[in-house]
Amino acid sequence: MPQYNWNEVSDADVEVLIKKVNALSSFEMFTPGRCRFVVADLPFYSHFKLLRATTFSSIPPVTMQYLIAGSGADAEVIKMNGTRDPIFENNSRAGLILNAQTVVPYATFVLDAVQTEEGTLRLVEKVDEDTFSNTPTPQQRKDVTHLIRPAKVTETANGFDLDVIMLYGDSIYRADLEVKKDGFIEIKNEELLAEGLPIRPIFLE
């Protein structure tokens, strides 16, 4: 998953936000004292932050993610629903900042937001502790380490072209992404590099 600097939401703000996030669900998922809310800045948005809410009223605990603008009673909360739509539909007022430094974090965020039966699409640039679900064989670790590399960014008249490595299910892909200036992303080409690997799929409820 993308690495963010999470900060605890104050107890006073949590009370307000519980009402706002529960209103976006079919039932009251979050209750005071049995949940945790943290928020992180997003380098590609000047107006929106990422809110992560975990309820401990279920076994196992369930975590949901939201985009949030403002704070307290005036906060606007947008539910991430497992598709790219909440991102693309709100980019125009999110204060989207796309440049050579932010376009890869942005693309990582968008791909990570899409939930499928195989987990999320994960744009990766290095091997870390989240890469593997099971202990890989030495050869598997060598193969994965050889294939994963930093994204290649090319600025175009319409935005950016990215040449990236993605993990999906138990497989590694190389993909060409087109990122438009308005934030719309399209996968133009993908190439299977390896499969049947002990790679950790990421699921959010």
CA distance 169 to 188: 20
What is the reported pLDDT for 201? 60
Residues in the chain with pLDDT values less than 70: 1-2, 200-205
pLDDT at 103: 98
In this predicted model, what pLDDT tens digit does every residue of 22-73 receive, in sequence order? 999 888 889 988 999 999 999 999 999 999 999 998 888 889 999 999 887 8
Q: Are strands 159-168 and 171-180 parallel, antiparallel or unpaired?
A: antiparallel
User: How far apart, in Å, are the Cα atoms of 118 and each of 46, 155, 170, 203?
Assistant: 32, 31, 8, 8
Q: Helical H runs in the chain? A: 11-22, 85-90, 103-113, 138-147
CA dist., res. 119 & res. 205, Å (int): 10
- Cα–Cα distance measured from residue 176 to residue 188, given in angstroms and rounded to the nearest whole number: 5
Identify the pLDDT of residue 1: 55
Question: What pLDDT does 40 receive?
Answer: 96
CA distance 7 to 10: 9
